[in-house]
Structure 1
């Protein structure tokens, strides 16, 4: 079994003055993660968000891959029903070749009408569109010539050129909240992404279901985090900062309950050493191969603090591996 990996998730929005300022900050944070020895930077996708943010994670991934040397840059998750498999296969292949195999495509079905309706996909159809798109995409990346004819997605015989560098293909990780989605990840993808809403107990059960369904790729677990001097201080600062994020999750129907209900078995809080120990606990309890921490949120901490936290996490993670 390979050693577990630790990485960070990049937030979509910021209170930075301009989009350019925010993108420069994200670039510096990815460079810091690369230099500190972290393993993955993950970029989500949503549409029609706040004025300062990003909405094209593949474009940002290309930029971050060019500015880093060893870290994996992944989408997490790309709303797959909004992407045509042929176009996406070409983009993934270029990122794979440009980076020397450091790109991973994390995808999901989406759960908001604002992310799906502009692309002609309804909430009721998103699972079927995801399955067909994922099947067609996998065929394109894995075969010399592929065609697909589904109820929602179709393309004639197509020869993907250039071919991907990674063998058998650039990794596709599928995020899902349901057992059906976990089985889909085992059958059609190369890894399963667990969202930050589920408890560790729930994730452990779903990870076991993923393995039982034949999934052999990595289990990737996302956690909300706050780095500070100690657990108590981190918790006090984290609650008001995370409130807008979990208000958004609540509005989307992802959870119910108070902050205290959520804090148990979900958050990673404390010093860098505390956070690394808690990330290792996630690995031990779920069998996770990759743990991804969101250490910066729209309400804080600021960019300079985030750089310090990323560096401290990297050093603590490397120290814990010795």
Structure 2
């Protein structure tokens, strides 16, 4: 099983360059970074984990910029967002960033995406909260149009793009990923809680699911597979448990379910504490 990592990198933590080098040298598989552009102080939305919102949420580095640094000093590890808040982006710009990062890293980029939880943050980006899922779906379709080999126009409810020259293209074409079918672009995984709505989104325009923590997968994976088959997708969706606190039993359970990748959490901390966490996780490699 491949073991990747996720961490809130901030202006107070270990640097992207040092962490990426350590991950590659120690044999870890990858690095996923979360995204928050800002956290409004006048916040009414409860923290997703309950209690006070941790300090790192308002100090997170931009994931694309940080992953670009990581790509420059590594050759093997995968690089991903966990997750990019697509509704808060200009999709033409995000399509260019994703394709460029995939290109310069030699096809190592995974675009993990989500719908967001912080209403105030989304509002500052002009995102109508009740429409955010539809906006993400629409923006992903627009981005796919820009990632196709030939100039392709897209006219959607929330955005449009003319048939355009848009290079570089993401490295991995659809034929290189049997489960992807006709989808162009880098690997796309969607984060979110299990349910028919999420699974329908995954089956329509993604390659798989990023379930936080990875609990309840034995019950939910058949539902995801059913949605996948109903959508006429070949193969099976990828399922990558995310921000996991690893244990031998938990990883054995994931392996029994046929999963091939897990993303373990690291502390948002300075160099010493992060390296000690890597030492502890190394037992599972």
- Name the TM-score, length of structure 1 as normaliser: 0.71
**Where in structure 2 are the equivalents of 1:117-128 lying within 5 Å?**
117-128=123-134
Gaps of 5+ in 2: 40-54, 175-184
Structure 1 residues 223 and 23, CA gap change in structure 2 (3 angstroms): closer
Find 1:139's aligned residue among 118, 140, 145: 145
Provide the rounded CA distance (Å) in 2 between the counterparts of 1:65 and 1:217. Answer: 26
Provide the rounded CA distance (Å) in 2 between the counterparts of 1:106 and 1:65. Answer: 17
Provide the rounded CA distance (Å) in 1 between the counterparts of 2:87 and 2:204. Answer: 18
**Where in structure 2 are the equivalents of 1:1-322 lying within 5 Å?**
4-13=1-10, 19=11, 21-22=12-13, 24=15, 26-49=16-39, 50=55, 53-168=59-174, 169-177=185-193, 178-196=195-213, 200-201=215-216, 203-214=217-228, 216-225=236-245, 268=246, 275-284=247-256, 286-297=257-268, 303-314=271-282, 316-318=283-285
Q: Note the C-alpha offset of 1:153.
A: 1.9
Gaps of 5+ in 1: 14-18, 226-267, 269-274
Secondary structure of the residue that 2:240 maps to in structure 1? strand
Moved more, 93-102 or 142-151: 142-151
Q: Note the C-alpha offset of 1:312.
A: 4.3
* Contact preservation (8 Å) 2:91, 2:140: yes
Provide the rounded CA distance (Å) in 1 between the counterparts of 2:252 and 2:268. Answer: 22
Higher relative helix content: 1
Structure 1 residues 124 and 55, CA gap change in structure 2 (3 angstroms): farther
- Name the TM-score, length of structure 2 as normaliser: 0.80
Moved over 3 A (4+): 49-52
Moved more, 184-193 or 52-61: 52-61
Q: Note the C-alpha offset of 1:151.
A: 1.6
Q: Deviations over 1:211-264 (max 9, x none)?
A: 222263421111442xxxxxxxxxxxxxxxxxxxxxxxxxxxxxxxxxxxxxxx
